[in-house]
Chain A
Amino acid sequence: MTDGSGLSASPFADYKPPMERGAAMVEANRCLNCYDAPCIRECPTSIDIPGFIKKIASDNLRGSARVILEANILGASCARVCPTEELCEGACVLHDLHEEPIQIGRLQRYATDPVVLGEKALFTAAPSNGRKVACIGAGPASLGCAAELAQLGYEVVVFEKADQPGGLNTYGIADYKMDYATALAEIEWVKQLGVTIRCNTEVGVDVSVASLFEDFDAVFMGVGLGGVSPVGIPGEDLEGSEDALDFIAELKTRPKDDVSLAGKSVAVIGGGNTAIDAVTQASRLGAEKVYMVYRRTRERMGAYAHEQELARKDGGIFVLESMPVEILGEYGRVIGLKCQKTRSDADGRLEPVPGSEFVLDVDRVFRATGQAKRVGFFETIDGLEFDARGKVIADEDGRTSVKGLWTGGDCVSGGKEVVNAVAEGKRAALSIHQTLEGAE
Chain B
Amino acid sequence: MADLSCNIAGIKSPNPFWLASAPPTNTGYQVANAFEAGWGGAVWKTLGQPIVNTWSRYGAMDLNGQKIVGLNNIELITDRPLEVNLKEIYEVKKRFPNNAIIVSLMVESKREAWHEIVKKAEDAGADGLELNFGCPHGMSERGMGAAVGQVPEYCQQITEWVKEVATVPVLVKLTPNVTDIRYPARAAKAAGADGVSLINTINSVIGLDIDTLAPRPTVNGWSSHGGYCGPAVKPIALNMLSQIATDPETLGLPISGIGGVSNWKDAVEFIALGATSVQVCTAVMHYGFRIIEDLCDGLSNYLDERSMTLDELRGISLERIHDWKELDLNYVVNARIDQDKCIGCGLCYTACEDGAHQAIFSERRDDGRTFVEVKPDACVGCNLCSLVCPVDGCIEMVQIPNDFEPCSWEEYSSGEGVLAPRPTYER
Contacts and interface: CB of A to CB of B under 8 A. Distances in A.
Contacts of A94: 343
Contacts of B350: 35
Given A41-B368, A97-B390, A97-B391, A35 B65 contact: no
Contacts of B306: none
B95 to A, nearest CB: 41
Contacts of B349: 35
Contacts of A93: 343-345
A33 interface: yes
Contacts of A26: 65
Contacts of B391: 97
A226 to B, nearest CB: 36
Contacts of A57: 64-65
A25 B63 CA distance: 10
A32 B345 contact: yes
B364 interface: yes
B369 A34 contact: no
Interface in B56-81: 64-65
Contacts of A440: none
A36 B347 contact: no
Contact of B345 (A25, A34, A41): A34
B344 A32 contact: no
Interface string A2-44: 0000000000000000000010011011001111101001000
B362 interface: yes
A96 interface: yes
Interface in B326-352: 343-347, 349-350
Interface residues of B, number: 16
A91 B390 CA distance: 17
A32 B345 CA distance: 7
A94 B343 CA distance: 7
Interface residues of A, number: 18
B343 A35 contact: no
B370 interface: yes
Contact of B343 (A29, A33, A41, A96): A96
A29 B369 contact: no
Given A41-B368, A97-B390, A97-B391, A35 B64 contact: no
A31 to B, nearest CB: 10
Contacts of A35: 345-347, 349-350, 362, 370
Given A29-B65, A57-B64, A36 B364 contact: yes
A33 B347 contact: yes
B370 A36 contact: yes
Contact of A34 (B65, B347, B368): B347
Contact of A38 (B65, B347, B362, B369): B369
B64 A36 contact: no
A97 B368 CA distance: 17
Contacts, number: 44
A38 B64 contact: no
Interface string B380-392: 0000000000110
Contacts of B362: 35-36
A29 B344 contact: no
B347 A96 contact: no
B210 to A, nearest CB: 9
Contacts of A22: 65
Nearest to A97: B343
Given A96-B343, A97-B343, A34 B370 contact: yes
A311 B188 CA distance: 74
A22 to B, nearest CB: 8
Nearest to B364: A36
Contacts of B369: 38
B370 A32 contact: no
Contacts of B65: 22, 25-26, 28-29, 57
Nearest to B360: A35
A33 B388 CA distance: 11
Nearest to B372: A35
A97 B347 CA distance: 15
Interface string A68-103: 000000000000000000000001011011000000
Interface string B199-232: 0000000000000000000000000000000000
- Between A22, A28, A93, A96, the greatest number of chain B beta carbons within 10 A of the residue's beta carbon is seen for A93
Interface string B32-74: 0000000000000000000000000000000011000000000
Nearest to A50: B345
Contacts of A38: 344, 368-370
Contacts of A29: 64-65
Contacts of B364: 36
A90 to B, nearest CB: 12
Contacts of A25: 64-65
A56 to B, nearest CB: 11
Contacts of A91: 368
Contacts of A28: 65
29 contacts: A22-B65, A26-B65, A28-B65, A32-B347, A33-B347, A34-B344, A34-B346, A34-B347, A34-B370, A35-B347, A35-B349, A35-B350, A35-B370, A36-B346, A36-B362, A36-B364, A38-B344, A38-B368, A38-B370, A41-B368, A57-B64, A91-B368, A93-B343, A93-B344, A93-B345, A94-B343, A96-B343, A96-B344, A97-B343
User: Closest 5 A-B residue pairs measured CB to CB?
Assistant: A35-B346, A96-B343, A29-B64, A26-B65, A34-B345
Given A25-B65, A93-B344, A97-B390, 4 more contacts: A32-B345, A34-B344, A57-B65, A97-B391
